[in-house]
Every structure is written in C-alpha cells, then in structure tokens.
Amino acid sequence: MNRSYNPLDFEIKFLKGVGEHRAKFLNKMHIYKIRDLLEHFPRDYINRKSKTKIRNLELEERSSIVGEIVSIEKRNYGNKKSQLNVTISDGKDCLLCTWFRFGNWFLKQFEIGKKIWVSGIVSEFSGSPQLIHPEIEILEDEESKESFWHSRSVLPVYPLTERITMNTMRKLVYKAFDLYHDEIEETLPEYILKKYKFEPRKKALQKIHFSKNLYEIESLKKRFAFEELFYNQLMLARSKYNHKRKLKGYQFELKKTFTTKLKNSLPFGLTDAQKKVIREIVSDMTSSHQMNRLLQGDVGSGKTIVTLFAMLLAIENGYQSILMTPTEILAEQHFRSIKKLLENQPEIKITLLKGGNYKGKKETKEKIAKGEINIIIGTHALIQKDVEYYNVGFVAIDEQHRFGVEQRAFLSRKNKHPDLMYLSATPIPRSLALTVYGDLDISIIDELPPNRKSIKSLWWNSQKIDLVYEDVLEQLSQGRQVYIVCPLIEESEKVDLIDAESLYERVRTKIFPEFKSALLHGRIKTSEKDAIMEDFQNGKISILVSTTVIEVGIDVPNATVMIIEHAERFGLCQLHQLRGRVGRGTDKSYCYFIGYPPISKEARERLSIMVETNDGFKIAEKDLELRGPGEFFGTEQSGMPNFRHANIVRDQDLLKQARVLAFDIIDEDFNLENPKNKVLSQNYFNIYYEKEKLFDF
C-alpha cells in the first residue's frame, strides 16, 4: 500500500550541512526529522524593499524599518553600565535604536553605511522615534552572492536556538525544501481542502517559507493548525466509537438498595446539578457499553457523593469498586470521607491499599481477591501485578491527568471492561477538555450546594501581615479554625521563602500561643498525619500550618480562614484548589493571599483574578491563557498533545470545526475505507494509529 519509508522521516542529522553537532541544537527546538524542519515556520518576515517610512511610525505599535546605519555611539556610565545608540536613516528621517545590555560581539556587527532591518515597539525620545532593544538583522551580511536568499526581497525570520544562526537556519530550510519537495505528501483530502479553502500542503509550505506575499501567510498557517487539531479529533473520535461499539461493558441494574440508602442518609438534599450528573452516570452504567466519563465540577461542588453513588451502583450488583488517586494523602482523605458517608451501611467493606510492605497488607490483598472487600481505595499500588481483584465493575480515577495513559490502560486491561470515571479536582477549560479528553463523555456539576457563604478574598502585602493576624485572631476567638499554607517544608539555603516548620514554631510560641496549632506536611508519618487530621476535623486543633498537601480533598466546614504565604509563587488553579478548603460550611470564610515583593506582573495578574472571582471555570480559562496548554496540568504525563502549530486558546473556533468534521467522518466511515478518505486513511494509519492504541482499553 505504501512505500515503507519517506525521506522526510530521515533524522535531521542526515541533511547535508547539519551533522551530529547541529542536530543536537535543532532537536532542542523539536526538529528531529526533515519533515519537522519543513514545518519550522518563520515567526516574522523581513521585507528588504519595505516602504515603511520612519515618518509614518505610530507610537506603541510594533513596526519594522529597513534603513542605513548613520551613527554608532557607545556611552559608558559609572558602575560598569553602558548604553548603545545606533541611528538608522531611511534617507529622510532618523530612528534611534537603543540597547542597555549588549556584548562586544553584538556591538561589532554594526558598521556605518550598512543596510539594516530593525523591528520593535515604537517609543519616543525627546520628540523622535526610538526603538528599545529592537530585533535587528544586518542585511547582505555574510551571505554569499550565490545564496538563494541573496536575491530575495522577503526573508523569513525563524525561531532560533544557540549555535544556529539565522543564516544557517535559512540555508537548511532551503536545502530541505529543494531536495525533498517532491516527497511532501498531501494529508487532507480534496473535499476538505475545498471546504475550508486551504492550499495543498506542498504549496502552502512553499509559500510560508518563500512567499513574497506576506498578507496571505496567516491563512496559510491556519491549514497546519487545523490539520493538527483535526487528526487529534479523528483519533479521539475513533477511540470513542471503539468504546461504544466494540467494548461490551457490564450492564448494571439500579437496584436501589445501597444507592438509595446513601441518598436517604444524607443530611442534605442533592443539588439539581448532582442529580443531573447521577442520572447521566446511571444511564451509562445500566447500558451494555462501557462507561468512559469525565466528571468535572468546581471545588466543593460535591463530586465525592456522586462518585460514591456510582460505586454503590456497581456494588449493589455484586461487583467491586476501585478509586485510584495520585497521592497517598488523597487516598487517605477519600477513605475517611467515604467511610463517614457509609457509616450506616456497615455491610459495605472498604479498604485502603497502600504502597510498600506493611503489616496486614497480605491479608488485605487476600480479602480483595476473594471479594470480601467492596471498595478499594489507593494509589498506583492498586495496579501492581501482585494485586488481584475478585470482580471489578467500576473504577474511578482521581486527577487522572497525573497518571500516564499507560497506567490507565493497565488498570482496566487487568479487568474486563469495568465502567470508568475520571475525576478532575478543578475545572478544565473546554478547549483543553476537548483535545485531551475528547474521547470521553463529560459530566459537569455546574452548581454549588445552596447556602454556601461566599469567600472573602484579600490580597495583602507581607509587610502588613500583622493586620491579617489581628483579623484572624478575631475568627479564632469565635471558635473558627485556620489553615496557613507555606511553599516549603523546612528552611532552605537556596531560596528565601517562609517555610512551614519555622512558621509553625512562631505561630505556636509567638503569633497565636493561646490556640492549639499543628504542623502538617508530606514527610510526616501517616499515623501522625491521621491523628492530626482527626484532631483538626473535630476541632481539637485550631490552626493547621501546612504545605500544599492540604490542597486536595480535605473537608472541614468549621475551618473558615486560610492564609496563603507567598501567594505570588502559586499557579491560579492551585490557589483556587487551596482556597476551596474554606467556604465549605455555612459561615462566612476568608482567604488571605500574602504576597512578598518583588511581585512580577504575571503574579499580580493572577492575584487580581483570585480576588475578583471564585468561579473555578473562569479561573481555569485564565490559567490556560496565562500559562499555555503545556503547563496547565503542571505535569509531563498529562497526555496533552504537543501541537506544533495549533494553539488551543487562540484556535478555539478551528478546534470546534475540526471536531465536528472528524466526528462526522468517523461516524460515517469508521475505518476510513471510503475512497474519498484515502488520504486520511494513509496518513492516519501511518502516523496516528500507534497513539490510538494507547486509548484502546
């Protein structure tokens, strides 16, 4: 069907002029194969014939000018500071370019009379236009007369890395294109190109690197973003349909025994959102296909009860239920709260399976294997080879982005096809959910339980901490409890940050000596942790000084105050998750974000957002926007596809279109056998099929 290789897949080091050494630096920019180099797009273009006049420059606008160097002046100040002023002329007016940091090598490239391109944001200096730290390129420098680029009026400006100069990059791209353009395959079928008015792949690539018509570049690039999103969605669509058609799941029956008993034992009614989500889950679990569902809801929206409801549905049908968490603390927390919720159903046996060897583990495992235990909670200890289950019917995976796809696959392959539910501790922005979890059905609890009092959020500078303590003292005196969160466990020589151990000492002896406080962090022994948590839960401890271990799961409604030290150092979702520990009861709660100067512009923006809103979905969107998709989950295993061209924040519309198209195609032609999808089929089964298999569990 296909040739077994394509030269575009050759390693980049084999391209003439690259070699082992340069290849290493190209790899750093994710250029591994020749095809990657062809997809290394310019981030800007230099128009040598640019007609932009210095006279017409607009203040604050990003602008480029081609001109001639007319003066170079280096000024030295005291204490080793210096300034470089280079003036360029367009024949009529002058533009001052200024640098405050520069090396000798940088200075040396300027020569009076040379033609230069400069690009930057226009500012003003005593009435004349100025660019501060502009990007520059000396034109006709180094280029030999034979170079392809010598005669070009438009030059691409590529993203670079150390040891690769702009000239080298241009030469390499040209060489790759020159040698291999015949090998560039089309990846989108005719009917899609037509529908979206996209250029064929080869032509689009050629124009992006070598076109003179800069106005068409944006629409050309769109094709590549679309293509990435489309294949991502094609894979997710196939995975989803696979589950629905191939994988027979258990067909449970809503027996209304344990489930109803749980419902009746709650001291409150379920919210409409919880009811709606439970209906979605029940309808999935009572059907014959395997459930594959993501459960989302803001902090405190009541996901635990919904999850437990699903667990009990499997259990009342005679099956076991599993809950897997990324950390032991979280497992312990779930264990505690589920135990409490099942206090009046002692016939349901729950266990916590921990990692490592400990007394009683062997017996626990035997009981699990014999089916004497109904609910098993734990970390990846649950998927060790030596753990055998009797009959797992339902698996919940908490914060599943912290697990690798392989781990998830392993968990369900061990068993038949239990119903799966993924829990997310904080909301995931829609565009991200669609690209990472686009093969799952999604349930959202979009409502908080009633009579939750709002949380008053305040951002204070560290110098004013005493005022915060005064407020907090008042709360403590009224019998409320307090969390104080620090970024470090113990004092560090490397960074000057407040650590939990020293702060705990001060809280205990100086700040609030009349109240009982405790220290909690990840290095404290489990038995001790349990005791502390229990004492905090029933009010024996008033102040808990901790690290971010309390970020997830802890639920103490009487704790109404949180102080977050060095709030400037935490990400938005983390701050939101932390803040979610308060405001869980019916009393008004307070969250103090303590910032330690200097606070960067981004940190300032984060803190303003935190003070402004308590809506987890809004905060998540903002977090994605500020940090980008790669960082959002804060872990390498997130399963986040590495898009080269698409940006899911910017390309949300494109994503929607790609998703609809991909799902329609798979709906109609699951195996891509229709002749009109030949191009898709070739490309998909060559490149994406391997990845799809990871989802096939």
Interface positions with ligand ADP (CB under 6 A): 268, 270-271, 274, 297, 299-305, 449, 555, 584
> Least distance (Å) from ligand ADP to the CB of residue 423?
8
User: Of these partners, ligand ADP, Mg ion, none, which one is at the site of residue 584 (CB under 5 to 8 Å by kind)?
Assistant: ligand ADP
> Least distance (Å) from ligand ADP to the CB of residue 392?
22
> Least distance (Å) from Mg ion to the CB of residue 633?
18
Residue least distant from ligand ADP (Cβ): 302
Q: Report the 10 Å Cβ neighbour count for 146.
A: 6
Q: Which is nearer to ligand ADP, 274 or 431 (CB)?
A: 274
User: Of these partners, Mg ion, ligand ADP, none, which one is at the site of residue 404 (CB under 5 to 8 Å by kind)?
Assistant: none
Q: Does 443 bind Mg ion (CB under 5 A)?
A: no
Q: Does 304 bind Mg ion (CB under 5 A)?
A: yes
Q: Report the 10 Å Cβ neighbour count for 636.
A: 9
Q: Which is nearer to Mg ion, 298 or 565 (CB)?
A: 298
> Least distance (Å) from Mg ion to the CB of residue 304?
4
Q: Which stretch binds Mg ion (CB under 5 A): 54-62, 103-111, 259-267, 296-304?
A: 296-304
User: Of these partners, Mg ion, ligand ADP, none, which one is at the site of residue 270 (CB under 5 to 8 Å by kind)?
Assistant: ligand ADP
Question: Contact 595/603 with Cβ under 8 angstroms?
Answer: yes
Both tokens of 473, joined, read: 């003292």
Question: Contact 227/187 with Cβ under 8 angstroms?
Answer: yes
Give the C-alpha separation, 682 to 125, whole Å: 59
Give the C-alpha separation, 432 to 621, whole Å: 9
> Least distance (Å) from ligand ADP to the CB of residue 381?
22
Both tokens of 409, joined, read: 């696959």
User: Of these partners, Mg ion, ligand ADP, none, which one is at the site of residue 299 (CB under 5 to 8 Å by kind)?
Assistant: ligand ADP
> Least distance (Å) from ligand ADP to the CB of residue 393?
22
Q: Which stretch binds Mg ion (CB under 5 A): 133-141, 302-310, 368-376, 507-515?
A: 302-310
Site string (250-289) toward Mg ion, x via CB under 5 A? ----------------------------------------
> Least distance (Å) from Mg ion to the CB of residue 672?
41
Q: Which is nearer to Mg ion, 330 or 599 (CB)?
A: 330
Give the C-alpha separation, 33 to 588, whole Å: 58
Give the C-alpha separation, 374 to 315, whole Å: 7
Amino acid at position 146, single letter: E
Q: Which is nearer to ligand ADP, 232 or 301 (CB)?
A: 301
Maximum CA extent, the chain: 91
Give the C-alpha separation, 298 to 425, whole Å: 7
User: Of these partners, ligand ADP, Mg ion, none, which one is at the site of residue 300 (CB under 5 to 8 Å by kind)?
Assistant: ligand ADP
Q: Which is nearer to ligand ADP, 112 or 266 (CB)?
A: 266
Give the C-alpha separation, 375 to 362, whole Å: 17
DSSP letter for each residue of 362-389? HHHHHHHHHT--SEEEESGGGGSTT---
Map the footprint of Mg ion across residues 556-615, applying CB under 5 A: none
Q: Which is nearer to ligand ADP, 426 or 547 (CB)?
A: 426
Of 268, 575, 331, nearest to 322 (Cα)? Answer: 331
> Least distance (Å) from ligand ADP to the CB of residue 257?
21
Q: Report the 10 Å Cβ neighbour count for 668.
A: 9
User: Of these partners, ligand ADP, Mg ion, none, which one is at the site of residue 435 (CB under 5 to 8 Å by kind)?
Assistant: none
**Residue linked to tokens 């997830």:** 552
> Least distance (Å) from ligand ADP to the CB of residue 341?
8
Residue 493 CB-half CA count within 13 A: 0
Q: Which is nearer to ligand ADP, 119 or 296 (CB)?
A: 296
Give me the phi and psi of 397, to 5 degrees please: -120, 115
Q: Does 333 bind Mg ion (CB under 5 A)?
A: no
Expressed in angstroms, the distance from the first to the final Cα of the chain is 28
User: Of these partners, ligand ADP, Mg ion, none, which one is at the site of residue 297 (CB under 5 to 8 Å by kind)?
Assistant: ligand ADP
> Least distance (Å) from ligand ADP to the CB of residue 425?
7
Give the C-alpha separation, 311 to 305, whole Å: 10
Residue least distant from Mg ion (Cβ): 304
User: Of these partners, ligand ADP, Mg ion, none, which one is at the site of residue 449 (CB under 5 to 8 Å by kind)?
Assistant: ligand ADP
Amino acid at position 613, single letter: T
User: Of these partners, ligand ADP, Mg ion, none, which one is at the site of residue 659 (CB under 5 to 8 Å by kind)?
Assistant: none
User: Of these partners, ligand ADP, Mg ion, none, which one is at the site of residue 333 (CB under 5 to 8 Å by kind)?
Assistant: none
Q: Which stretch binds Mg ion (CB under 5 A): 195-203, 298-306, 601-609, 687-695?
A: 298-306
> Least distance (Å) from Mg ion to the CB of residue 307?
8
Of 260, 624, 270, nearest to 447 (Cα)? Answer: 270
Question: Contact 157/104 with Cβ under 8 angstroms?
Answer: no
User: Of these partners, Mg ion, ligand ADP, none, which one is at the site of residue 97 (CB under 5 to 8 Å by kind)?
Assistant: none
Q: Which is nearer to ligand ADP, 264 or 288 (CB)?
A: 264
> Could you give the 3-state DSSP secondary structure of residue 216?
helix
Q: Which is nearer to Mg ion, 425 or 488 (CB)?
A: 425
Give the C-alpha separation, 589 to 334, whole Å: 24
Query: What sign does the dihedral 622-627-628-634 (CA atoms) show?
Result: negative
Of 401, 450, 432, nearest to 621 (Cα)? Answer: 432
Q: Which is nearer to Mg ion, 188 or 425 (CB)?
A: 425
User: Of these partners, ligand ADP, Mg ion, none, which one is at the site of residue 677 (CB under 5 to 8 Å by kind)?
Assistant: none
Give the C-alpha separation, 163 to 167, whole Å: 11
> Least distance (Å) from ligand ADP to the CB of residue 418?
22
Q: Which is nearer to ligand ADP, 355 or 557 (CB)?
A: 557
Q: Which stretch binds Mg ion (CB under 5 A): 117-125, 162-170, 299-307, 342-350?
A: 299-307
Q: Which is nearer to ligand ADP, 259 or 271 (CB)?
A: 271
Q: At what angle do helices 572-579 and 616-627 cross, to 10 degrees?
A: 160
Q: Which is nearer to ligand ADP, 365 or 581 (CB)?
A: 581
Q: How far is CA 421 from the centre of its chain?
A: 20
Instruction: Return the bridge partners of 422, or none.
Output: 294, 397
> Could you give the 3-state DSSP secondary structure of residue 295?
strand
Residue 398 CB-half CA count within 13 A: 27
Question: Contact 478/542 with Cβ under 8 angstroms?
Answer: no
User: Of these partners, Mg ion, ligand ADP, none, which one is at the site of residue 640 (CB under 5 to 8 Å by kind)?
Assistant: none
Give the C-alpha separation, 353 to 380, whole Å: 9
Beta strand pairing call for 128-132 and 115-125: antiparallel
> Least distance (Å) from Mg ion to the CB of residue 62?
46
Q: Which is nearer to ligand ADP, 164 or 323 (CB)?
A: 323
Which helix (H) or strand (E) segment is 220 a member of? helix 217-245
User: Of these partners, Mg ion, ligand ADP, none, which one is at the site of residue 268 (CB under 5 to 8 Å by kind)?
Assistant: ligand ADP
User: Of these partners, Mg ion, ligand ADP, none, which one is at the site of residue 301 (CB under 5 to 8 Å by kind)?
Assistant: ligand ADP
> Least distance (Å) from ligand ADP to the CB of residue 311?
13
Give the C-alpha separation, 580 to 562, whole Å: 10
Q: Which is nearer to ligand ADP, 168 or 274 (CB)?
A: 274
Give the C-alpha separation, 638 to 156, whole Å: 34
Q: Which is nearer to ligand ADP, 86 or 270 (CB)?
A: 270
362-370 long-range contacts (CB < 8 A, ≥24 apart) are 368/320
**Interface contacts to Mg ion, rule CB under 5 A:** 304
